[in-house]
Amino acid sequence: MNIDELYQTIILDHYREKHHSGLREPYDAEVHHVNPSCGDELTLRVALDGDTVRDVSYEGVGCSISQASTSVMTDLVIGRGVEDAMGLYDDFLEMMHSKGEIAPDEDRFEDAIAFAGVSKFPARVKCALLSWSALRDAVNQTSTKDS
């Protein structure tokens, strides 16, 4: 199996069996994000426990990349510190805008390495980033609420 096939398999596995899907309560913030260029839609809820991401739940429609990316993102951030999760988003963003130039760090990104392949296709980058920008938006809303 070559690397592109591996990436495709990871994405299809998450698309077929999405992790942590569904909307759950309680939650601290809910956002709705759309990616008009592809038609992807995502409602995402985040629940924090102090500085830790306790849960991310969601309901989405759209292409396999946007759906799989949401599933992978929840695997990565649930149970992680908020600041650490946002740092991971920054690194993911950098990789996605690198047009395939930045090789993903497998220990850090886990299944999100699969989107390194997507970064070569600018039209699909927004699909892969939809869930992450929704997460950041939701996290930002919780901090405004507290202050």
Q: Which residues of this chain interact with Zn ion, rule CB under 5 A?
A: 38, 40, 62-63, 66, 127
Please, what is the minimum distance in Å from the beta carbon of residue 66 to Zn ion?
4
Q: How far apart are CA 91 and CA 72, in angstroms?
A: 15
- Nearest CA to 61 out of 11, 131, 10, 8 is that of 131
Q: How far apart are CA 64 and CA 18, in angstroms?
A: 10
Please, what is the minimum distance in Å from the beta carbon of residue 127 to Zn ion?
3
By beta-carbon proximity to Zn ion, the closer residue of 28 and 40 is 40
By beta-carbon proximity to Zn ion, the closer residue of 64 and 140 is 64
Please, what is the minimum distance in Å from the beta carbon of residue 112 to Zn ion?
16
Helix spans in the chain (H)? 3-16, 64-77, 82-96, 106-109, 122-146
Q: Give me the residues paired with residue 43 across strands.
A: 32, 59
Say if CB 46 and CB 139 are below 8 A apart: yes
By beta-carbon proximity to Zn ion, the closer residue of 60 and 104 is 60
By beta-carbon proximity to Zn ion, the closer residue of 56 and 65 is 65
Please, what is the minimum distance in Å from the beta carbon of residue 100 to Zn ion?
18
